[in-house]
Amino acid sequence: MSNHISHLDVGAAHITRVAEMTGPAFRLSTLFPEWDDAVFEEHKDWLVPDYVNPAKMTALLNMHSWIVQFNGLTVLIDTCIGNDKDRMPAERWHHQQGPYLERLAEAGFGVGDIDMVMCTHLHVDHVGWNTQLRDGRWVPTFPNAKYIFSRTEFEHFQAHAAKNDDMDRNSFEDSVLPIVELGRAEMTDGPHALGDGLLVEPAPGHTPGHVTLKLETGAETAIFTGDILHHPLQVYLPHWNSRFCILPEQARASRRNVLDYCVERGALLMPAHFGPPHCCHIDRAGESYAARWHQG
Protein backbone atom coordinates (compact mmCIF):
# COMPACT_ATOMS: atom_id res chain seq x y z
CA MET A 1 0.00 0.00 0.00
CA SER A 2 1.32 3.48 -0.92
CA ASN A 3 2.53 6.09 1.54
CA HIS A 4 -0.58 8.09 0.60
CA ILE A 5 -2.56 5.71 2.82
CA SER A 6 -2.11 4.78 6.47
CA HIS A 7 -4.13 2.93 9.09
CA LEU A 8 -4.39 2.89 12.88
CA ASP A 9 -6.78 1.69 15.54
CA VAL A 10 -8.10 3.70 18.47
CA GLY A 11 -9.89 1.29 20.76
CA ALA A 12 -12.62 -0.39 18.72
CA ALA A 13 -12.41 2.23 15.95
CA HIS A 14 -10.41 1.73 12.77
CA ILE A 15 -9.03 4.93 11.23
CA THR A 16 -7.65 5.36 7.72
CA ARG A 17 -5.81 8.38 6.34
CA VAL A 18 -6.03 9.01 2.59
CA ALA A 19 -3.85 11.81 1.21
CA GLU A 20 -4.76 13.90 -1.81
CA MET A 21 -1.48 15.80 -2.11
CA THR A 22 1.47 17.29 -0.28
CA GLY A 23 1.40 21.06 -0.17
CA PRO A 24 1.09 23.96 -0.31
CA ALA A 25 4.51 24.84 1.09
CA PHE A 26 3.96 28.30 2.56
CA ARG A 27 6.92 30.34 3.70
CA LEU A 28 6.89 30.17 7.49
CA SER A 29 6.92 33.95 7.69
CA THR A 30 3.82 33.99 5.47
CA LEU A 31 1.92 31.25 7.28
CA PHE A 32 2.66 32.71 10.72
CA PRO A 33 2.42 36.50 11.10
CA GLU A 34 4.41 36.26 14.36
CA TRP A 35 7.24 34.24 12.79
CA ASP A 36 10.67 34.51 14.44
CA ASP A 37 13.73 32.75 12.98
CA ALA A 38 14.87 31.90 16.50
CA VAL A 39 11.93 29.46 16.72
CA PHE A 40 13.36 27.41 13.88
CA GLU A 41 16.75 27.24 15.59
CA GLU A 42 15.10 26.03 18.81
CA HIS A 43 13.01 23.32 17.14
CA LYS A 44 14.93 22.39 13.98
CA ASP A 45 16.03 18.98 15.30
CA TRP A 46 12.50 17.64 14.89
CA LEU A 47 11.14 20.06 12.25
CA VAL A 48 13.43 18.75 9.51
CA PRO A 49 12.68 16.94 7.19
CA ASP A 50 8.95 16.29 7.68
CA TYR A 51 7.62 19.69 8.76
CA VAL A 52 9.98 22.37 7.40
CA ASN A 53 12.12 22.69 4.29
CA PRO A 54 15.17 24.51 5.72
CA ALA A 55 16.55 25.57 2.33
CA LYS A 56 13.42 27.57 1.54
CA MET A 57 12.10 28.07 5.11
CA THR A 58 8.74 26.73 4.07
CA ALA A 59 6.18 24.88 6.17
CA LEU A 60 5.49 21.42 4.75
CA LEU A 61 1.79 20.62 4.89
CA ASN A 62 -0.30 17.63 3.80
CA MET A 63 -3.82 17.47 2.37
CA HIS A 64 -5.60 14.37 3.62
CA SER A 65 -8.92 12.96 4.77
CA TRP A 66 -9.51 10.80 7.82
CA ILE A 67 -12.02 7.94 7.63
CA VAL A 68 -13.42 6.51 10.87
CA GLN A 69 -15.10 3.10 11.00
CA PHE A 70 -16.84 2.74 14.35
CA ASN A 71 -20.10 1.31 15.70
CA GLY A 72 -21.35 0.43 12.23
CA LEU A 73 -20.70 3.89 10.75
CA THR A 74 -18.11 4.96 8.17
CA VAL A 75 -17.43 8.69 8.50
CA LEU A 76 -15.14 10.61 6.13
CA ILE A 77 -13.70 13.82 7.63
CA ASP A 78 -12.75 16.70 5.29
CA THR A 79 -12.65 16.18 1.54
CA CYS A 80 -9.58 18.13 0.39
CA ILE A 81 -9.44 20.01 -2.96
CA GLY A 82 -11.29 17.95 -5.56
CA ASN A 83 -10.94 17.56 -9.32
CA ASP A 84 -12.06 19.75 -12.24
CA LYS A 85 -12.63 22.84 -10.11
CA ASP A 86 -11.92 26.53 -10.77
CA ARG A 87 -9.34 27.34 -8.13
CA MET A 88 -7.30 30.15 -9.63
CA PRO A 89 -5.04 31.78 -8.59
CA ALA A 90 -4.00 28.52 -6.85
CA GLU A 91 -2.54 26.88 -9.95
CA ARG A 92 -1.77 23.52 -8.30
CA TRP A 93 -5.42 23.21 -7.25
CA HIS A 94 -6.97 24.55 -10.48
CA HIS A 95 -8.76 21.92 -12.60
CA GLN A 96 -6.84 19.24 -10.75
CA GLN A 97 -6.89 15.68 -12.09
CA GLY A 98 -5.71 13.78 -9.03
CA PRO A 99 -6.10 10.10 -8.01
CA TYR A 100 -7.98 10.69 -4.74
CA LEU A 101 -10.84 8.31 -5.53
CA GLU A 102 -8.38 5.66 -6.70
CA ARG A 103 -6.54 6.00 -3.39
CA LEU A 104 -9.81 5.64 -1.51
CA ALA A 105 -10.40 2.43 -3.45
CA GLU A 106 -6.87 1.24 -2.70
CA ALA A 107 -7.60 1.85 0.99
CA GLY A 108 -10.70 -0.34 0.68
CA PHE A 109 -13.50 2.21 0.23
CA GLY A 110 -15.92 2.67 -2.61
CA VAL A 111 -17.79 5.97 -2.78
CA GLY A 112 -20.94 4.09 -1.78
CA ASP A 113 -19.35 2.87 1.45
CA ILE A 114 -19.30 6.29 3.13
CA ASP A 115 -22.24 6.87 5.49
CA MET A 116 -21.37 10.42 6.54
CA VAL A 117 -19.11 13.19 5.26
CA MET A 118 -18.21 15.62 8.03
CA CYS A 119 -16.53 18.94 7.16
CA THR A 120 -14.70 20.56 10.07
CA HIS A 121 -15.15 23.86 8.21
CA LEU A 122 -15.91 25.07 4.70
CA HIS A 123 -12.58 26.37 3.44
CA VAL A 124 -11.72 25.39 -0.11
CA ASP A 125 -9.29 22.61 0.89
CA HIS A 126 -11.82 20.82 3.11
CA VAL A 127 -14.86 20.53 0.82
CA GLY A 128 -13.57 19.74 -2.67
CA TRP A 129 -14.51 16.08 -2.97
CA ASN A 130 -17.99 16.71 -1.58
CA THR A 131 -18.93 16.84 -5.26
CA GLN A 132 -17.64 15.70 -8.61
CA LEU A 133 -18.40 16.77 -12.18
CA ARG A 134 -20.88 14.55 -14.02
CA ASP A 135 -22.37 15.60 -17.38
CA GLY A 136 -21.65 19.25 -16.67
CA ARG A 137 -23.19 19.22 -13.18
CA TRP A 138 -21.74 19.05 -9.68
CA VAL A 139 -23.19 15.96 -7.99
CA PRO A 140 -22.46 14.37 -4.59
CA THR A 141 -19.34 12.20 -4.77
CA PHE A 142 -20.62 9.91 -2.01
CA PRO A 143 -24.11 8.85 -3.10
CA ASN A 144 -25.21 7.27 0.18
CA ALA A 145 -23.74 9.82 2.56
CA LYS A 146 -25.31 12.44 4.76
CA TYR A 147 -23.12 15.56 4.76
CA ILE A 148 -22.59 17.23 8.14
CA PHE A 149 -22.08 21.02 8.11
CA SER A 150 -22.11 23.54 10.95
CA ARG A 151 -25.04 25.91 10.43
CA THR A 152 -22.95 28.87 11.67
CA GLU A 153 -20.25 27.93 9.17
CA PHE A 154 -22.69 27.55 6.29
CA GLU A 155 -24.31 30.91 6.97
CA HIS A 156 -20.89 32.61 7.20
CA PHE A 157 -19.75 31.26 3.82
CA GLN A 158 -23.15 31.90 2.28
CA ALA A 159 -22.83 35.59 3.23
CA HIS A 160 -19.22 35.65 2.02
CA ALA A 161 -20.17 34.13 -1.35
CA ALA A 162 -22.82 36.79 -1.86
CA LYS A 163 -20.25 39.58 -1.43
CA ASN A 164 -17.01 38.21 -2.90
CA ASP A 165 -15.66 36.63 -6.06
CA ASP A 166 -12.83 34.37 -4.94
CA MET A 167 -11.86 30.74 -4.32
CA ASP A 168 -14.07 30.47 -1.24
CA ARG A 169 -17.06 31.64 -3.26
CA ASN A 170 -16.23 29.14 -6.01
CA SER A 171 -15.83 26.26 -3.59
CA PHE A 172 -19.06 27.17 -1.81
CA GLU A 173 -20.94 27.19 -5.11
CA ASP A 174 -19.47 23.98 -6.55
CA SER A 175 -18.83 21.89 -3.41
CA VAL A 176 -21.31 23.00 -0.72
CA LEU A 177 -24.45 24.48 -2.31
CA PRO A 178 -25.16 21.43 -4.52
CA ILE A 179 -25.20 19.23 -1.41
CA VAL A 180 -27.65 21.55 0.36
CA GLU A 181 -29.87 22.04 -2.68
CA LEU A 182 -30.19 18.27 -3.10
CA GLY A 183 -31.26 17.88 0.54
CA ARG A 184 -28.17 15.90 1.49
CA ALA A 185 -26.86 18.25 4.21
CA GLU A 186 -27.52 18.04 7.93
CA MET A 187 -26.84 21.34 9.69
CA THR A 188 -25.56 21.16 13.26
CA ASP A 189 -26.01 23.67 16.07
CA GLY A 190 -23.87 23.21 19.16
CA PRO A 191 -22.76 19.71 20.18
CA HIS A 192 -24.14 17.02 17.87
CA ALA A 193 -23.78 13.24 18.17
CA LEU A 194 -23.19 11.45 14.87
CA GLY A 195 -23.54 8.15 16.73
CA ASP A 196 -22.39 6.52 19.95
CA GLY A 197 -18.89 7.77 20.73
CA LEU A 198 -18.80 10.33 17.88
CA LEU A 199 -19.46 13.92 18.95
CA VAL A 200 -19.26 17.07 16.82
CA GLU A 201 -18.46 20.14 18.93
CA PRO A 202 -18.05 23.83 18.07
CA ALA A 203 -14.46 25.11 18.02
CA PRO A 204 -14.70 28.58 16.47
CA GLY A 205 -11.85 30.88 15.56
CA HIS A 206 -10.13 29.62 12.45
CA THR A 207 -13.57 30.16 10.94
CA PRO A 208 -16.73 31.23 12.79
CA GLY A 209 -18.36 27.80 12.61
CA HIS A 210 -15.34 25.49 12.78
CA VAL A 211 -16.06 22.19 14.57
CA THR A 212 -14.13 19.19 15.85
CA LEU A 213 -15.10 15.52 15.97
CA LYS A 214 -14.38 13.63 19.19
CA LEU A 215 -14.08 9.85 19.08
CA GLU A 216 -14.46 8.03 22.41
CA THR A 217 -14.15 4.25 22.53
CA GLY A 218 -13.76 2.78 25.99
CA ALA A 219 -10.81 4.49 27.65
CA GLU A 220 -9.30 5.57 24.32
CA THR A 221 -10.03 8.85 22.57
CA ALA A 222 -9.08 10.86 19.51
CA ILE A 223 -10.04 14.30 18.24
CA PHE A 224 -10.17 15.37 14.60
CA THR A 225 -9.22 19.01 14.63
CA GLY A 226 -9.34 20.36 11.07
CA ASP A 227 -7.37 23.61 11.00
CA ILE A 228 -7.33 24.48 14.70
CA LEU A 229 -3.65 23.69 14.24
CA HIS A 230 -2.18 23.99 10.74
CA HIS A 231 1.35 23.01 11.70
CA PRO A 232 2.99 21.16 14.62
CA LEU A 233 4.82 24.31 15.72
CA GLN A 234 1.46 25.49 17.06
CA VAL A 235 1.58 22.74 19.68
CA TYR A 236 4.63 24.47 21.14
CA LEU A 237 3.40 28.00 20.36
CA PRO A 238 -0.37 27.77 20.86
CA HIS A 239 -0.73 31.57 20.78
CA TRP A 240 0.41 31.57 17.13
CA ASN A 241 -2.44 31.75 14.64
CA SER A 242 -2.04 31.05 10.97
CA ARG A 243 -2.68 33.89 8.54
CA PHE A 244 -6.00 32.20 7.71
CA CYS A 245 -7.59 32.42 11.19
CA ILE A 246 -10.59 34.74 10.92
CA LEU A 247 -11.28 35.30 14.66
CA PRO A 248 -7.83 35.43 16.31
CA GLU A 249 -8.71 35.31 20.01
CA GLN A 250 -11.33 32.59 19.57
CA ALA A 251 -8.82 30.60 17.49
CA ARG A 252 -6.29 30.74 20.34
CA ALA A 253 -8.92 29.72 22.89
CA SER A 254 -10.14 26.77 20.77
CA ARG A 255 -6.54 25.63 20.21
CA ARG A 256 -5.80 25.58 23.92
CA ASN A 257 -9.10 23.82 24.64
CA VAL A 258 -8.20 21.07 22.19
CA LEU A 259 -4.65 20.70 23.49
CA ASP A 260 -5.89 20.60 27.10
CA TYR A 261 -8.41 17.91 26.13
CA CYS A 262 -5.62 15.85 24.58
CA VAL A 263 -3.47 16.19 27.72
CA GLU A 264 -6.27 15.40 30.15
CA ARG A 265 -7.85 12.51 28.23
CA GLY A 266 -4.75 11.13 26.52
CA ALA A 267 -6.54 11.79 23.22
CA LEU A 268 -4.79 11.39 19.90
CA LEU A 269 -4.64 14.71 18.01
CA MET A 270 -5.70 14.15 14.36
CA PRO A 271 -5.17 17.36 12.35
CA ALA A 272 -5.87 17.94 8.68
CA HIS A 273 -2.43 19.03 7.50
CA PHE A 274 0.39 17.60 9.65
CA GLY A 275 3.21 15.74 7.90
CA PRO A 276 4.19 12.17 8.84
CA PRO A 277 3.34 10.48 11.12
CA HIS A 278 0.36 12.89 10.87
CA CYS A 279 -0.98 12.55 14.43
CA CYS A 280 0.34 12.81 17.96
CA HIS A 281 -0.37 12.73 21.66
CA ILE A 282 0.08 15.93 23.65
CA ASP A 283 2.04 16.41 26.86
CA ARG A 284 2.08 19.45 29.12
CA ALA A 285 5.35 21.44 28.96
CA GLY A 286 5.24 24.31 31.45
CA GLU A 287 2.78 26.90 30.15
CA SER A 288 2.82 25.24 26.75
CA TYR A 289 2.66 21.74 25.25
CA ALA A 290 4.80 19.18 23.44
CA ALA A 291 3.99 16.61 20.76
CA ARG A 292 4.60 12.90 21.30
CA TRP A 293 4.34 11.46 17.83
CA HIS A 294 2.18 8.42 17.22
CA GLN A 295 4.18 5.40 16.12
CA GLY A 296 2.65 2.47 14.32
Number of domains in the chain: 1
In the DSSP assignment, the letter for residue 286 is T
| Tens digit of each residue's pLDDT (9 = 90 or more) over 73-116 | 999 999 999 999 999 898 899 999 999 999 999 999 999 999 99
Q: How far apart are CA 103 and CA 16, in angstroms?
A: 11
Q: Which pLDDT score, from 0 to 100, does residue 150 have?
A: 98
Q: Which pLDDT score, from 0 to 100, does residue 116 have?
A: 98
Q: Which pLDDT score, from 0 to 100, does residue 22 have?
A: 87
Handedness of CA 173, 150, 61, 241 (dihedral sign): positive
Pairing mode, if any, of strands 58-59 and 62-70? unpaired
Residue 268 lies in domain: 5-293
SS3 letters for 78-126?
A: CCCCCCCCCCCCCCCCCCCCCCHHHHHHHCCCCHHHCCEEECCCCCHHH
Q: Which pLDDT score, from 0 to 100, does residue 164 have?
A: 87
Instruction: Give CA 235 to chain center in angstroms.
Output: 16
Q: Which pLDDT score, from 0 to 100, does residue 280 have?
A: 97
**If phi over 0 gives left and psi between -120 and 50 gives alpha, with beta otherwise, what is residue 43?**
alpha
Give CA angle at 78 (138, 234), nearest 5°.
Answer: 140
Q: Which pLDDT score, from 0 to 100, does residue 296 have?
A: 61
The residues, any chain, with a CB within 8 Å of residue 94's CB and separated by 6 or more, are 85, 86, 87, 88
| Per-position pLDDT tens, the chain of length 296 | 468 999 999 999 999 999 999 877 899 999 999 999 999 999 999 999 999 999 999 999 999 999 999 999 999 999 999 999 999 898 899 999 999 999 999 999 999 999 999 999 999 999 999 999 999 999 999 999 999 999 999 999 999 999 988 899 999 999 999 999 999 999 999 999 999 999 999 999 999 999 999 999 999 999 999 999 999 999 999 999 999 999 999 999 999 999 999 999 999 999 999 999 999 999 999 989 999 999 76
Question: pTM (2 decimals)?
Answer: 0.96
Q: Which pLDDT score, from 0 to 100, does residue 100 have?
A: 98
Whichever domain contains 118, its CATH number is: 3.60.15.10
Q: Which pLDDT score, from 0 to 100, does residue 25 have?
A: 82
CA distances for 160 relative to 32, 93, 189, 286, angstroms: 24, 21, 20, 40
